[in-house]
Structure 1
């Protein structure tokens, strides 16, 4: 079965992604903390298993990664939906292109080099 992982990079993407997952949870009767809203359903459907990870305890978490180099935007995202290992944030106060490039190279290595 195909799985879908959403990656939200940057301030606008993280904020839009948070709203996207909030609406997606509402559509599938999943509470903001990831638990199923109604007791009669297992919540496992084709669409939820593609977009949510089933933890087996009637709890679902989005298959999503949120990336932003400043700490403020990630800190505004509610904790219940996402685990801390789904967020990548830095401590950069001023966003400059050389700073962004250096930080990404530290995290991911220089992917432009041929191996």
Structure 2
């Protein structure tokens, strides 16, 4: 197969995840500019920087999958902790993800009352 992402597996450590999130925070605001037109280019840039810093083969696909996983876990964390009668859950990247996602409506929906 020609695709370089096929078969590439990278095990994310706590430090590599924090590095990824820092780079995501740093570069996310550039998406939609002439410099970085879309989110795909964001993950390409992050993977290049992580390859250089960590000396590991980290593909844009690895970065995109990590982001999707972290976003899904953060949503579950927020949903669980907003429901009454449930035990509080923890999520080790909650603070950083909260900074990145802020008050996005798909994470923190506006509650309408009738």
TM-score normalised by length of structure 2: 0.31
Where is the strand percentage greater, Structure 1 or Structure 2?
1
Where is the helix percentage greater, Structure 1 or Structure 2?
2
Higher RCO (CA < 8 A, seq sep 6+): 1
